[in-house]
Structure 1
Amino acid sequence: MMDIPHLDDLAFNQITAELIADANMLAEQVNERRPLPSDVIANIQAELLGERVFNSNAIEGNTLTLRETKSILSTGSIIDVGRKREATEALNLGTAINQVQDLVAKREAWSLLDSLTSVHETLMTDVLDQGAGRIRSDRVMITGAKHQPPRPEKLDFLLEKFLKLLEESSEAEPITLATWTHWGIARLHPFMDGNGRMARLWQDLVLFGGKLSAAVIRQEDRSEYYASLTSADDGDFNSLTQLVTRSLNRTLQIYVNAQREVDELKDWAVSIIGETNARVDEKRRLEYLRWVRQMEQVKDAFQRCATQLTNASDGSVEVQVNGFDILDQPTWETLRSSGSASKTWYFWVNFRQGKERVQFCFFFGRHWYSDADRQVDGIGPNACLLISEQRGDEPAVRISELPNCPITLREVLVVNDRVARKRFDVGDESDVYDLNVDPLQIARDFMQEVFLRRLT
């Protein structure tokens, strides 16, 4: 008899974990720049509705084109009597998507059997004879599938268990929960038809409930999709979670692109009519929030690397990251305008290898112009992360001021809304910049240098 794994029992590899983290950061980027103009939102939602209906139906064999699907959804009419069933599938799925959207704020309804059957009835009316909105009482077989759906006599118990686990998972990470929910409905196959579409509907319900967006699995990814469901049947949820996350990221990117277009138009209008003080404040606030987001990614990267190193050790190595609050906006403004500030610690990284210990303080200061800046556009006045080293009871000293220091990292800063790194190139004996660098790369390189060149 099949069983339904608990969410806590799912294990993910590093690729899956980082994809989920990237998706959540992209969602934060979208949410922090809301609201978009209502007409822009309406256009995005209409586009996404067409994409969701077309791809979900196409995966199940519906031959309508994307253009035909959008036309049916916009007009509400069946354009070809000879393809009435396919047109009805499109209309029904569009209505079901809106019905599911009404459930987003009703968390208790996600795990109700009545919610499932009600949406299924909407989905399959005039498509599935006698079966719309009804849990199957017959056995079904999936051609070519390694694992077959449970027999009807086992279905009620398994469905009740699945819905109970869904009810108890309110604190779960949304992407993980959405993937698990998708798999659960697809695996149980509670209806005679429409199970794949129901699985994708409930997946998106969970994602919207987690303040994310729809994950549109494309019909061209159909083979990968079915293979990933089979892997999940065998207990490996990595490929399915990665597919859902990549699909979600494509949707989130639509919002990011729309926001950028709106920002560009705002900037153009300001250049024509002149920028008011309110606009200056708004722009500066947005710049600060973007800077905060990037710096929080840096601290998170160091924390994750520290955890991995400590967990991988036999106990002889330990890395701890102790964090402090990020700069408030007034202090950030002070540092940018050549002022100074005290107690700007952001996080300490403490290393222990055997009996040897060393710690580094990452603190905020003002970026000072140097010859290396000539080769980089967009630096300007900046608040950056600086690093000092402390051993034992000795006073902390800036790494750049330590003689023959083997640690090459000098500054972490934000350039053109992306994380950049300033480091000392030992070969050229000069400072160089790495632009648009992954915060995880900064953390990995720094910690590797500490272990290989400082803790010896």
Structure 2
Amino acid sequence: MVRTRKKNENEPFQYMSVGEAASLWKVSDRRVRYLCEQGKIEGVIRTGRNYKIPKGAIKPLDGRESRWFNIPDAFKEIFNRVDSEKRELDRRRPLTPGELARIRDDFTISYTYNSNAIEGNTLTLSETRLVLEGVTIDQKPLSDHLEAAGHRDAFQYMLTLVSGDNPLTERVIKELHSLVLIDRPQDKGVYRRIPVTISGASHTPPQPYLIEPQMEQLVADFNNKSHVHPLERISKFHLDFEGIHPFIDGNGRTGRLLLNFALMRAGYLPIDIKFTDRRRYYAAFEAYYAQGDIQPMVELVTGYEDEALKERLAILTS
């Protein structure tokens, strides 16, 4: 939204002119003025016929840059915003290895806590931090400790897969699951052989004999080139994986690791779906399997990505 101010009002120092923004973004002055007039740039101040643009403002994504994708109207605004933030992050100087390691260490702890807590792990965030540092928490089950360590190891392995530009395969899925279910040697990395139900869900996962062909198709569909925007495609992949529920246990944690694997492979940041958001998360699955509505999951995933990008940009501009 464009705000209008009188000329004699005091203004912050962190603003740039239309010409400065045009030079920075490598577009014409006319284009910047159009973006200001349309309210496409956040925090713009109008003074008479002039515009003041925040120096940290992100250049809005040109709609022509995303025309290759068939984007539903409901997703256009948030996809454009997130992709604008992603492009701005790509443009800025990279973090040092030490800075990146610190951010990833903190993320690993929070992510491990939340992903495990969603599945019933009783460790608190501070206890999870201690467990990952090698401390044993009194009166907490050994299984909770092993789940924390296994999830941490699976996430770190996932990062090596991303850095090595490895594609999504059934082998990758089974390897990640094997680390997640490190305390269950008989079940890790093995598709289930018995029927299961999901408590509280209207959807019933497929019979065991259908798992292998459905997983094969799931991976093939994901790896095929598509005109579906990556954020929509990744959200649907997550919904479909959890719907197949290929393993006897650990599907949620493995699925969220695969969600981040897919996001990072597409150039986005990993996301940390919060334990406190679990009802909204479960409702997104129910909307998809009961009504065929993908929008709640797309909005949840994209919203978390939006937050992650904003946080990273704030670090780089501080």
State the TM bucket, normalised to the shorter chain: 0.7 to 0.9
SS for the counterpart of 1:250 is: helix
Amino acid at match of 2:98: D
Aligned with 1:98 (options 156, 170, 183): 156
Structure-to-structure mapping, 1:74-153, within 5 angstroms: 75-80=133-138, 82-105=140-163, 109-110=167-168, 112-126=169-183, 128=184, 130-153=186-209
Amino acid at match of 2:124: T
Aligned with 1:198 (options 247, 251, 254): 254
Q: Cα offset for 1:40?
A: 2.5
For 1:29 and 1:109, the matched residues in 2 are separated by: 26
Structure-to-structure mapping, 1:323-342, within 5 angstroms: none
Structure 1 residue aligned with 2:277: 221
With normalisation by structure 2, the TM-score equals 0.73
Structure-to-structure mapping, 1:63-74, within 5 angstroms: 63-73=122-132
Amino acid at match of 1:115: V
Which structure has more RCO (C-alpha within 8 Å, separation ≥ 6)? 2
For 2:125 and 2:277, the matched residues in 1 are separated by: 16
**Residues 215 and 245 of structure 1 are in contact (CA less than 8 Å); yes or no, is this contact kept in structure 2?**
no
Amino acid at match of 1:159: M
- After superposition, the Cα gap between the structure-2 partners of 1:34 and 1:130, relative to the gap in structure 1 and judged at 3 Å, is same
Q: Cα offset for 1:174?
A: 2.5
For 1:87 and 1:219, the matched residues in 2 are separated by: 18
Structure 2 residue aligned with 1:239: 296
**Residues 225 and 243 of structure 1 are in contact (CA less than 8 Å); yes or no, is this contact kept in structure 2?**
yes
Q: Deviations over 1:217-269 (max 9, x none)?
A: 111111111111111223211110000011112221221121122xxxxxxxx
Aligned with 2:106 (options 47, 56, 66): 47
Structure 1 residue aligned with 2:47: none
Q: Deviations over 1:301-341 (max 9, x none)?
A: xxxxxxxxxxxxxxxxxxxxxxxxxxxxxxxxxxxxxxxxx
Q: Cα offset for 1:77?
A: 4.0
Structure 2 unaligned runs (5+)?
1-68
Structure 2 residue aligned with 1:251: 308
Structure 2 residue aligned with 1:432: none
For 2:118 and 2:313, the matched residues in 1 are separated by: 27
**Identical amino acids, percent of aligned pairs:** 28
**Residues 70 and 227 of structure 2 are in contact (CA less than 8 Å); yes or no, is this contact kept in structure 1?**
no
- After superposition, the Cα gap between the structure-2 partners of 1:124 and 1:168, relative to the gap in structure 1 and judged at 3 Å, is same
**Residues 186 and 196 of structure 1 are in contact (CA less than 8 Å); yes or no, is this contact kept in structure 2?**
yes
For 2:166 and 2:97, the matched residues in 1 are separated by: 29
SS for the counterpart of 1:149 is: coil
Q: Cα offset for 1:169?
A: 3.6
- Structure 1 vs Structure 2 CA RMSD: 2.1
Structure-to-structure mapping, 1:368-383, within 5 angstroms: none
Structure 1 residue aligned with 2:119: 60
**Residues 180 and 250 of structure 2 are in contact (CA less than 8 Å); yes or no, is this contact kept in structure 1?**
yes
**Residue 26 (structure 1) aligned with residue 85 (structure 2):** yes
Q: Cα offset for 1:81?
A: 6.2
- Alignment coverage as a number of residue pairs: 249
